[in-house]
Amino acid sequence: MIIIAGHMTTTPELVHDLAAALSGLVPATLREDGCINYSFAIEDAAAGTVLVYERWRDQAALSVHLAQPAIAAVLGGWADKVSIDVTKFDATNPRGLMD
């Protein structure tokens, strides 16, 4: 499993627009083969930060997702207005919280 987690940061004035643009991708992405979770949330509006959290079955599914025109359009449209601090993790031993 692949886990994507981190933050996207923009100006406080644009944070709600960024969150809306990202959230607009959620319904279609959740229907993609291999998508387990895909969500965004404003973490700190005053700081302009949006929390990013995704889980994918494998790298192949993530690669197909990243090649989607809608993803390129949103990321490209925001490229000069955001900084991205997002990390990809390989989860090779997933288990329940209390296990």
Q: Return the pLDDT at 90.
A: 96
Distance between CA atoms of residues 96 and 99, nearest Å: 5
Strand partners, 52: 6, 40
Instruction: Enter the DSSP assignment of 5.
Output: E
Q: Is 38 exposed, middle or buried (0-12, 13-18, 19+ CB in 10 A)?
A: buried
Q: What is the pLDDT of residues 46-93, one digit of tens each?
A: 999 999 999 999 999 999 999 999 999 999 999 999 999 999 999 999
Over residues 3-12, the mean pLDDT reads 98
Kindly report the three-state secondary structure assignment for every residue of 10-79: CCCCCHHHHHHHHHCCHHHHHCCCCEEEEEEEEEECCCCEEEEEEEECCHHHHHHHHCCHHHHHHHHHHC
As assigned by CATH, the class of the 2-89 domain is: alpha beta
Bridge-based pairing state of the strands 35-44 and 2-9: unpaired
Residue 5 pLDDT > 90, yes or no?
yes
Q: What is the pLDDT of residues 25-56, one digit of tens each?
A: 999 999 999 999 999 999 999 999 999 999 99
Question: Per-residue confidence at 4, pLDDT binned at 50, 70, 90?
Answer: very high
Q: Return the pLDDT at 94.
A: 87
| The two three-digit tokens of residue 90, written as one number | 């390989």
Q: Where are the domains of the chain?
A: 2-89
In terms of pTM, does the model score above 0.85? yes
